Each structure stands twice: as C-alpha cells, then as structure tokens.
Chain A
C-alpha cells in the first residue's frame, strides 16, 4: 500500500456516489446510531443571544424589509403581553419565520423560541439545523415522537419566560391554503395558561415557495390579532378550534373587531402608558 490520499478520496467519492442520487437499489437510509436528544440549550445562552441579535439587526431584518416590504398590522397587541405567550401562525414557506420575527416587536423577538420540525431540520440536515438555531432561535419540535414529552419540553420554555412560536398546522401548506390545526397548541395553552397570539401571514409563498431554495422579492402581509385566552375549563380541542378560527378570520378581508379588538381596545393597547405598565 502506498500513500495516495487523492486516490483514496477518489475511491470513496466514486464508491459512495458523491453528488449523485441515491440508487433505488440501496436499502432506505436509517439512523442506525441514534443522535443524542438535545433541545439545543446553547442556542439560548449568552454568546448565541448576542450573535443572533447582531445577525437579526444587521442582516436579516434589512434583508426581509427589502425582499418582502412587509405590511404589518396589529403590533400593539404584542406590547400588551404581560406573560409568556404562544404565537400561532399559518405556515406556507421557509421565509415565514424570518418574516414573523420581523413583525414582532424588539422586546418580544428577543424572547421568542421557534418550533422547528425535528425530523426535517435536525435529523436530515443536522448542521443546517444548528445554523438555523443560531439564526432564528429554533428548537427541535418532534412531529412524530410521543406528544407528552414534546409538549412537556415546550411547556418548559413558557414557564421559563420564553414566547413560543408554533406553526399549528405542523407543516408548510403545499398550496398556500391553511390546513387544520393540530390540537397540541390548545393543549399547550390550556396546560400552561398561556395567551395565544393568532397571526396570519400571506405572500411568503411567492417569496420562497415550497420546493424552491432561492428567495425572490414579493410583498408580504402580516396580521396580528388580539391575544386569546382559554376560558377556565375550556377543552383544549375547542380552544384549538377557536385559535384556528381566529387565524382564518385574520386571513379574510378587513378583520372584524371580535378578532383584532375594537378600536378602543387597540387604542388603549397602543398607548405609550400601557407599555410602561409592565
């Protein structure tokens, strides 16, 4: 055997068919050695927080402004939040999270964790997942695992003072239409007694449609509704339906007062005095 690193590399490259499609004759890939479970706690420790703030302020927000020229309404409700809330939105594109973070106020944005599909982001592309965690403060949210453990983990965030951004449909819409909400959202909210901020966004599918990887400029709209609070003893499924209805109402035309509040409520919510109360 002679020293031939290039030959070795070449051998591996050819043998494992780098850059080619996985042959159909190969058995489906499976994680024979499981990844250690993690909630990526490092992403919420100090150097990461500051780095994220810099990335957001310096790059992401201006870029979002440029690509989407976002039209945001209802920000005043965020100023009024006095405890950890669940932010629920429809989901059409990878661009959604960045747009939503843009739409949040500074104070809320810095205390928001984003649920990201564990199987998609952390199992298939672990390094991409870590980058995204640093950038958007995501945590792995299992779509397939046992609901109880997942929800318990998420509840921890709420109890430790983080807002939780959840795409309640569980996946990106294939065609822009909104799918049914998974009941986990209502469960989380009722269990932790957290208010739910319904948000509807539109237009991101034109920025980066499902299946595309290059963003194109297109106008987007974000509507933030009045926070919902579960009634005492309200069933979590019923509450989920209520949240879903709120997002659907936001989607349509000018939202009515039931969802976004009467002008008097919104006026009070946006008062400079109201901000100081917390």
Chain B
C-alpha cells in the first residue's frame, strides 16, 4: 500500500530538506518547528492498462459504447493533449499512445475512413514531429503523420469557426475540422485538477478569441484556486463554453490519470521523503549536486530534460464530459491530496527545472513566476498554505535566459512590459492587444515552434492571485537584476530570505515547505 500524504514537523533530528533549484538541487535546514508537506506516495498503476482502456471504451459513463458511435462513412476527429502534459514527459509508451491505439482499432474495425488526429495545442507551441511521435507512438505516427495528424492552429482564419456566445457573453470558437465532424473524441491526461473536463476542448481547440474569455486577470483572480474547479471562475467559464461545444458537435471524452511517480530510478531521491533516503540515494544526491554545481548550464539542461517519468496509468474513463471528469477528479485527488491544518506565515517552494511551457527549453524568468507563484502556489484547496499578507520564498537561479525559438514574445514581454510595470491589470490593459496582433509572433506561432504572442501575459496572469495574496516574494539564489525586474526581492541564502521575510510577517514566523515535485494538492483546513 502506498502511504498517504503527510505533514512532518521539523525537529532537531530531521535530515535537511530537498529544494529543487532550477537545473539543480539543494538541501536546506529549515528552522525547528517548520513543517514539510509531502504528497502521497505513487499509487499502484492499473495491472492491465490496455484491458482497462478497452473496458472504458465499451462501458462509458452516461454515453453509448464507442463501437456503436462509429460507422463507415463518418467524419471522425480525435483530439489529444499536447506536450504540456504530463511533466516531465512520460516514458514510452505514453498514455495517449495506449488510448489512441485502442480507439483507432475500433475505428478501423468500423471502417471509418475519414479520421483526423489533432494535437490540441491551444495557444501553446506546435509540437515537433519527434515530440508527436513520442506522444502517439510509432504506429499511429507512421499511419497518420503529417496529413492527418497535425497541430491545431489557433491563428488560422480558415481553420477555426465561431460557435456562439454563452449566457455570460463569452465567445466560443472551435477548430473547424472538429466542428464539422460527426464525432470528436478527446483523449486527455489529467495530471492536476486544473486539467481536463470542458477545459480540454474549450482551450485546446479554440482560438485566441475564445481563450481570452477566461484567460484574463479578472477571471483568474476569481479562481481560488484554479486547482479546485468548484472554486474556480476559470473552470465555470470553460464549462459554459464546453456546454455550447457539446450542443454543436458530438463529443466523446476519454480521461486518464497517472500516479505521481515523476522521476526515473536514477533520481529516486527526488521522489522520496528525506527520511527514507538510503545510502545510495544520498550518494545520488551528492553526485547530482556536484555535477549540477559544476556543469555548464546547457549540459545540465540536456541531462534534466532527457529525464522521462515512469508514470503508471491509474484510471481511465470515457463518456460524457462532466460525468467522466467528476470521477476523474476523484482519482486525481486521491493521488495528490494531503490534508494540512491551518495556514502559515511563510511558504517555501523549490522551483524545478520544468514547467508546462518550457519542455526542452530553459525556464525563463517569466515562467519561473508562472510555475512558482502560478501552478505551485495554487496547488491548494480551500485556502492557500500561506496566509494573506504572508511571504513566499522561491528557490531558483532565475537567470536572464530565453529560448528564442519557443519564447520570442517572452523576451519582449520581459524587456518592454515588465520594464514598465508588473501589475497584471495594467499589463493586460496596456499591452495585451499589441502582442496578440504582432505579425512576427503570429508567423512564428503558426510556422515555427513559438508560443503565441499573448502567452507570456497568461503566464503572468496565472500568478496574479498569488501576487495579490502575498505580502512579499523572495527568490533565493536568483539573479539580482532579473528578480528586481520581476518586482520581487532577492536573497543569496535561505537564512537571509527568512530573515528578510520576518520584516514582513513579524518575528518567529510559522513556515511550511511544499516538498514538490512530485506534485501534491494541499487541502488546507
């Protein structure tokens, strides 16, 4: 049996605690009395994934069995999540591959000739051929790529249709091929509670026009947190859009979950609680620490980004979107939830080398904010781990470092927008349109592998709730100029950061350390 998550109080005997630090790791000794929040251990995977997938397809929830929906002569579109999920990328075979193979087997049996596979990238970058091959597997790839297996293009004026407007006035757009299909099958992977459900189609196959309806500061400030859909305006908006999509096109939704086994055996020490570290884990840590301290950045990056996570499939469900998603969320929560008693003055987070938007690229300063104060801060249900007016201490090198292929608009966002203001409202008002319509970003988004022009804005909005909630943000080990540009404070060591934080929250603060990844969801009472 895997252990549930735990909150461990630091006493004098405890080993130091692991902090991720970009492409590196560090051990820190937190003050006695601080608490460390660990997620549950990885749940066991399903013993026969393929059998489970087949069963899910033939016994869907609140929907007809998939074989009965497939007939010769129909127009079928299968959409799959892009490479922002899961993180780190999954060791082959990817869940998407397993599901697609079963779905296509049924389609072939039914003689469905007109099949398209679309990577639901939304405003994310186009996936490269190799990335697609890894996600869908060789067999699917060689059968369909490139004519019938391709990336969604949110900026193609011909390739997207306007479906309508929700009762709250939100515009809804959809990929034309999907909109004109007799059946759309969505193959999803729900890693955290934010993913999946109606959000899959409403963002993955939409254009900027549709996505901006909920990817804005107002909605995100009303999402507390967006990791808990019932309390999230973002999700309410997506659900309204998704219901409109369901009226327009027949959708068959497949959702999968994996456990949180995020690191291969060589990095076991990252996966384990420090008190469980064996001699070999300690040796591995020491080796990794020395190497990452010495090696040039690009070599470290290559090593880190080549890690593949040995996730195991924990659930697969198919059928009507809402019905499926409700059950899926239960599975996700079972893997991630850890109960936490009360808030603390300070939360410490080690920001890892990877976030949803920098697979095979450096995590630039804007994405450090997005990952640390966006995703990781929001991994709570009920109330944040840190109290209002408290301090978040992040650990990351935070260098001025951008991938010019993937993140061209991030460079301008950092140098033009953040140089002017860091206030999300101001940024949205003054700059978003300019970036959305810039012809160069559009060109790179459509033809190269660049994120959309407005994507850095969303990355920043993602952290808006945290910025509003927190009294101060300190980045340990960050580059001073960069951290100041982001509007935060910089400290060389954790001790200094805690000292600085005391000026905001008072003497003898209470401290929580979110020990992630592997991911967890803090259910704060």
The reply to whether B146 and A263 contact each other, CB–CB distance below 8 Å, is no
> Which listed residue (B113, B139, B142, B146) contacts A264, Cβ 8 A?
B113
Find residues 224-278 in chain A having any chain B CB closer than 8 Å to their own CB: 254, 262-264, 266-268, 270-271
The reply to whether B148 and A263 contact each other, CB–CB distance below 8 Å, is yes
Known: A75-B142, A76-B142, A263-B113. A268 touches B147 (CB 8 A): no
CA–CA, A254 to B147, complex, Å? 7
The reply to whether B104 and A262 contact each other, CB–CB distance below 8 Å, is no
Shortest CB-to-CB span from B133 to chain A, Å, is 12
**A159 interface residue per 8 A CB criterion:** no
Shortest CB-to-CB span from A80 to chain B, Å, is 13
The reply to whether A254 and B111 contact each other, CB–CB distance below 8 Å, is no
**B144 interface residue per 8 A CB criterion:** yes
The reply to whether A266 and B146 contact each other, CB–CB distance below 8 Å, is no
How many chain B residues touch A (CB < 8 A): the figure is: 15
Known: A262-B113, A263-B115. A73 touches B142 (CB 8 A): yes
**B143 interface residue per 8 A CB criterion:** yes
Shortest CB-to-CB span from B140 to chain A, Å, is 9
The reply to whether A266 and B143 contact each other, CB–CB distance below 8 Å, is yes
- Point out the residues of chain B lying under 8 angstroms from A76, CB to CB: 142-143
**B8 interface residue per 8 A CB criterion:** no
The reply to whether A254 and B146 contact each other, CB–CB distance below 8 Å, is yes
The reply to whether A267 and B104 contact each other, CB–CB distance below 8 Å, is yes
CA–CA, A95 to B340, complex, Å? 66
CA–CA, A271 to B104, complex, Å? 11
The reply to whether A270 and B143 contact each other, CB–CB distance below 8 Å, is yes
The reply to whether A267 and B108 contact each other, CB–CB distance below 8 Å, is yes
The reply to whether A263 and B139 contact each other, CB–CB distance below 8 Å, is no
- Point out the residues of chain B lying under 8 angstroms from A262, CB to CB: 113
Proximity bits, B192-233, A CB within 8 Å = 1, else 0: 000000000000000000000000000000000000000000
The reply to whether B111 and A264 contact each other, CB–CB distance below 8 Å, is yes
The reply to whether A270 and B144 contact each other, CB–CB distance below 8 Å, is no
- Point out the residues of chain B lying under 8 angstroms from A264, CB to CB: 107-108, 111-113
The reply to whether B143 and A267 contact each other, CB–CB distance below 8 Å, is yes
CA–CA, A126 to B111, complex, Å? 54
Shortest CB-to-CB span from A250 to chain B, Å, is 14
Shortest CB-to-CB span from A268 to chain B, Å, is 6
The reply to whether A263 and B143 contact each other, CB–CB distance below 8 Å, is yes
CA–CA, A262 to B143, complex, Å? 9
Find residues 93-112 in chain B having any chain A CB closer than 8 Å to their own CB: 104-105, 107-108, 111-112
CA–CA, A262 to B112, complex, Å? 10
Residue of A nearest to B144 (CB): A263
The reply to whether B139 and A270 contact each other, CB–CB distance below 8 Å, is yes
The reply to whether B111 and A270 contact each other, CB–CB distance below 8 Å, is no
Proximity bits, B132-169, A CB within 8 Å = 1, else 0: 00000001001110111000000000000000000000
- Point out the residues of chain A lying under 8 angstroms from B111, CB to CB: 264
CA–CA, A267 to B105, complex, Å? 8
CA–CA, A211 to B148, complex, Å? 40
CA–CA, A116 to B481, complex, Å? 68
- Point out the residues of chain B lying under 8 angstroms from A267, CB to CB: 104-105, 108, 139, 143
CA–CA, A268 to B104, complex, Å? 10
- Point out the residues of chain B lying under 8 angstroms from A74, CB to CB: 142
CA–CA, A263 to B148, complex, Å? 10
CA–CA, A270 to B142, complex, Å? 9
- Point out the residues of chain A lying under 8 angstroms from B105, CB to CB: 267
CA–CA, A267 to B100, complex, Å? 12
Residue numbers of B with Cβ under 8 A of A are: 104-105, 107-108, 111-113, 115, 139, 142-144, 146-148
Having A74-B142, A264-B107, A270-B142, one finds 10 other A-B pairs with CB under 8 Å, namely A76-B143, A263-B143, A263-B144, A263-B148, A264-B108, A264-B112, A264-B113, A267-B108, A267-B143, A270-B139
Interface pairs A-B: 6 shortest CB-CB: A264-B108, A254-B147, A267-B108, A266-B143, A270-B139, A267-B143
Residue contacts A-B, CB under 8 angstroms, 9 given: A75-B142, A262-B113, A263-B144, A264-B107, A264-B112, A266-B143, A267-B105, A268-B108, A270-B139
